[in-house]
């Protein structure tokens, strides 16, 4: 009995070695794609959190704090200008919500990125002025530019 189990284990170990040495580049590529997706989703999570902070103030659900709003807008602008770098070809995994079409429709995807970047940069500039009434439309335009891309290139 022990002998049989031992030989089974040896056979299993040998087949695992065979599989892993047979597919080294595929698994390295998978690991890289998983890391790229994780970084991209993390950057978007930071961006989304700043939009949440600003949105609560813009909608009057949280008291307006000009300094906190400005800090959030600056973090959002930094992330908004960073995310376009986080879509290298092949960076897709089952946990990614990115639609594969975005890599085939680069002109449109980049146009939507630039639109968002312009809006979030303008929002940060407006936030320096500290005028809540001026911030509301700038915030609304930024949110609309997020949605425009999500509607096309992000799965629900």
Residues that bind ligand HEC (CB under 6 A): 37, 40-41, 44-45, 47-48, 51, 80, 96-98, 102, 109, 112-113, 116, 120, 142, 145-146, 149-150, 153-154
Q: Tell the smallest beta-carbon distance from residue 119 to ligand HEC (Å).
A: 8
Q: Tell the smallest beta-carbon distance from residue 151 to ligand HEC (Å).
A: 10
Task: Choose between 126 and 142: whose C-beta lies nearer to ligand HEC.
Answer: 142
User: Are 116 and 146 contacting, i.e. CB atoms less than 8 angstroms apart?
Assistant: yes
Task: Choose between 44 and 68: whose C-beta lies nearer to ligand HEC.
Answer: 44
Among left, alpha and beta (phi > 0; psi -120 to 50; other), residue 130 is: left
Rounded CA gap, 137 and 133, in Å?
8
Nearest to 78, CA basis, from 41, 42, 43 = 43
Q: Tell the smallest beta-carbon distance from residue 41 to ligand HEC (Å).
A: 4
| Location of structure tokens 């799965």 | 155
Q: Tell the smallest beta-carbon distance from residue 28 to ligand HEC (Å).
A: 20
Residues 6+ apart with CB under 8 A from 122: 138, 141
């Amino acid at each position: 009995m022990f002998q049989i189990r031992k030989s089974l284990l040896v056979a299993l170990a040998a087949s695992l070695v065979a599989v892993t040495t047979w597919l080294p580049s595929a698994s390295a590529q998978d690991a890289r794609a998983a890391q790229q997706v994780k970084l991209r989703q993390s950057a978007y999570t930071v961006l989304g959190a700043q939009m949440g902070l600003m949105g609560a103030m813009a909608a009057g659900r949280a008291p307006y704090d000009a300094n906190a709003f400005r800090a959030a807008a600056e973090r959002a602008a930094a992330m908004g200008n960073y995310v376009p770098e986080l879509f290298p070809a092949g960076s897709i995994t089952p946990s990614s919500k990115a639609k594969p079409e975005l890599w085939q429709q680069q002109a449109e995807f980049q146009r939507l990125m630039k639109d968002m970047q312009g809006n979030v940069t303008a929002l940060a500039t407006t936030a320096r002025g500290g005028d809540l009434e001026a911030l509301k439309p700038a915030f609304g335009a930024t949110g609309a530019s997020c949605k425009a891309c999500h509607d096309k290139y992000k799965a629900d």
